[in-house]
Homo-oligomer: A and B are copies of this chain.
Amino acid sequence: MKIGFIGLGIMGAPMARNLAEAGYSLVVFNRTRERAEAFLSSLPQADVTVAATPAEVAATSDLVIIIVKDTEAVREVVLGEEGVLAGGRPGQVVVDMSTIAPAAEQEMAVRLQERGMTLLDAPVSGGDVGAKEGTLAIMVGGPESALRSILPVLQRMGKTITYCGPVGCGQLTKLCNQILVSVTLLGVSEAVAMARRCNLDAERMIEAVRGGAAGSWQLANLGPRILSKDFAPGFMVELMQKDLKLVLEAADQHGAVLPATSMVHQFFNAAENRGWGREGTQVLARVIAQLCNLE
Contact among B235, B256, B267 with A194 in the assembled complex (CB-CB below 8 Å): B256
A interface residue count range (under 10 / 10 to 19 / 20 to 34 / 35 or more):
35 or more
Q: Is the interface of A mostly helix, strand, loop or mixed?
A: helix
Give the contacts of A141-186 with B (CB-CB under 8 A): 160, 162-165, 169, 172-173, 175-184, 186
Pairwise interchain contact B126-A214, C-beta atoms closer than 8 A: no
Pairwise interchain contact A176-B160, C-beta atoms closer than 8 A: no
Bound Cα distance A194, B171 (Å): 12
Residues of B within 8 A of A221 (CB): 213
Q: Does A115 contact B (CB under 8 A)?
A: no
Given contacts A183-B190, A187-B184, contact A201 B256 (CB under 8 A): no
Residues of B within 8 A of A264 (CB): 260
Q: Does A239 contact B (CB under 8 A)?
A: no
Q: Which B-chain residue is minimally distant from A189 (CB atoms)?
A: B260
Pairwise interchain contact B195-A172, C-beta atoms closer than 8 A: yes
Q: Does A275 contact B (CB under 8 A)?
A: no
Q: List 20 A-B contacts (CB under 8 A).
A: A125-B213, A126-B213, A162-B208, A164-B204, A165-B200, A172-B194, A175-B194, A176-B205, A176-B209, A180-B191, A180-B214, A187-B187, A190-B258, A190-B261, A194-B250, A216-B216, A216-B217, A257-B291, A259-B288, A259-B291
